[in-house]
Structure 1
Amino acid sequence: MRVREIMSTGVLAAAADDSVRDAVGQMLDEGTGSVVVEKDGNPAGILTKVDVMQAGHEHDRPLSEIPVYAAATRPLITVEPSATVSAAAARMFDYGIHHLPVADGLDLVGIVTATDLLEAQDDLLVEARGTDERRDEWDSG
């Protein structure tokens, strides 16, 4: 199974100098847990709910005074849409992240979340069983 099959294509974006408060408003309005931060028109980081909590604690200022770029996780870790879901899960585990933007070259085309991985779990198990059955056929053939 490939990332393109489970990713969400509606990716929220915020400019680097937008406030964290404005980004949180976007996230609440859209019911999502992250916003990709763009600097000079390019994806440069990601702001998640955890980043917002850390920014509020570390900066000890109102969220309206903190620019999203200062609170965002950087650099932006991405995956290609043609990558396997297993590779995306491994990347998320390796970096300790729950939101993984999907990039096709320089274009941001989607995002995969830990929730997407959980929702795809049954399909991944069916795919793995099929692979095991084919392997058994090849070994006996």
Structure 2
Amino acid sequence: MLIEEVMSTELVTCDVSASVRDAADLMLRNRVGSVVVTNEGSPAGLTSEADVLHAGYVTDDPFSAIPVRKAMRRLPTINSRKTLRAATERMRTQRVKKLVVVEGMTPVGIITAGNVVDNYAGIRQEVRDIAADADHWSNEGTDDE
């Protein structure tokens, strides 16, 4: 199963000049767990609910006083033509729950751990189909008589 089949194509963004409060407001209003931080219209990073909470805790400042750039992390990306297995492996190795989906250098969506869970049945069926095909081809040409 390919990422492009299950990703969300709605990206919520905020400018790097925004505050953590602005980013939190966008997440709450759009019912998402992260925003892509942009700089002059280009993606520069990602900030999540956890990043916002962490920034507020460590600075002990109001969210409105914390620049979002202080709470953003490197933009974790993956190509839309990769498989869900590749996405889950990247999430595991990078210790993230979200990957921005790109085509070339252009963000086209986001894939989350929730997207993977929501498509678990389809993933299991795909694995069964692959196993059945492998079994068929490994038995091809054997003499069953």
In the superposition, the TM-score normalised over structure 2's length comes to 0.94
In 2, the alpha carbon distance for the partners of 1:132 and 1:45 equals 39
Tell me which amino acid in the other structure corresponds to 2:22.
D
> 1:57: Cα distance to partner?
0.8
- 1:30 equivalent to 2:30? Answer yes
2:116 alignment partner, SS class: helix
Structure 1 stretches of 4+ with a deviation exceeding 2 A read: none
Which residue in the other structure is 1:130 paired with?
129
1:81 aligned to 2:80?
Answer: yes
Q: What do the CA deviations read for 1:54-98 (whole angstroms, capped 9, x no partner)? A: 10011111100111111111x211000000010001000111101
Unaligned 5+ segments in structure 2 are: 141-145
Matches within 5 A, 1:1-141: 1-73=1-73, 75-141=74-140
2-structure distance, mates of 1:105, 1:58: 36
SS in 2 for 1:76: coil
Residues in 1 aligned to 2:22 and 2:40: alpha-carbon distance in whole angstroms: 19
Letter in 2 for 1:51: D
Structure showing greater radius of gyration is 2
**What do you get for the CA RMSD once the two structures are aligned?**
0.7
Q: Which amino acid in 1 is paired with 2:119?
A: A
Give unpaired runs (5+ residues) of structure 1: none
| Identity between Structure 1 and Structure 2 (%) | 36
Aligned AA for 1:122?
A
